[in-house]
Amino acid sequence: MKKKFLIKAAAAVMLLTPVTGSFVIGNTNTVLAKNKTLKVKDIKKPVRTVYLKMKPKNFLYQTMKQAMKAWNNTGAFTFKQVKRQRDANIIVTDIKRKDIPMPGIAFVKDDVLHIGRKASKLNPVINLNPAFLNKSYVRKQLKDSGIPADQTDLAFSRWTLAICEHELGHAIGLKHYKGAKPSVMKENPGVPIQPVDVQNVRKLYHLGQ
């Protein structure tokens, strides 16, 4: 019942809001963490390298690059893509997992913000799940909503980008945002990166406002 309600709500929102508006399509993602103790006081430059372990022509590859650019444009954090996995602080994969009903999962381990290039075993790993991050899935979810095909594609693109931005947020230490303001870090990210997200990054890394 809850899932059907969220799908119908997503359909209604997509018909009424502009590109920068919000949307929700079912349950989106979660974070699995072990000993998640983030120590950030020693970080001087909030920069992290990212290795995209997927094919460049992959839609998720391109969307993750857009998400990295979106965070970079905030001025609060910088993601740099690298060509070798061993040089990466964050690794992004696209393993299909039908048994995990979530489009994205960030696995974050202890002291992820202190790792160096040679400590790849401690790196946070983001897995984007093609089993749910695909147009066919979204169209199936919204088939009874009455949304035209072109708007369904727009919903899919916006939803996927928000999930990528959300998972990058987890990888740099942000938790789910439970406040009243719009935020990409809510459990169901319905909007892109918001001012409150930038503010929370600045607080986490002890940066000036």
- The pTM score is 0.76
Query: What are the pLDDT digits (tens) for 36-86?
Result: 333 444 445 589 999 999 999 999 999 999 999 999 999 999 999 999 999
Question: Is position 16 within any domain?
Answer: yes
Question: Is position 27 within any domain?
Answer: yes
Number of other residues whose CB lies within 10 A of the CB of residue 34: 8
**In the prediction, which pLDDT does 120 show?**
37
Average pLDDT over residues 109-138: 64
The domain spanning residue 98 has which CATH number?
Answer: 3.40.390.10
Question: Is position 113 within any domain?
Answer: yes
Place of tokens 């913000």: 113
Question: Is position 196 within any domain?
Answer: yes
Question: Is position 49 within any domain?
Answer: yes
d(CA 7, CA 204): 34
Task: Check pLDDT > 60 for residue 169.
Answer: yes
156 Cβ contact list (under 8 Å, min separation 6) = 135, 138, 139
Average pLDDT over residues 161-166: 94
Query: What are the pLDDT digits (tens) for 90-120?
Result: 999 998 888 777 888 887 764 444 333 333 3
136 φ, ψ to 5°? Answer: -60, -40
Number of other residues whose CB lies within 10 A of the CB of residue 66: 14
Total structural domains within the chain: 1
Q: What percent of the chain has pLDDT over 70?
A: 67
Domain span including residue 163: 2-204
Residue of 127, 103, 107, 80 lying closest to 170 (CA atoms): 107
Question: Is position 209 within any domain?
Answer: no
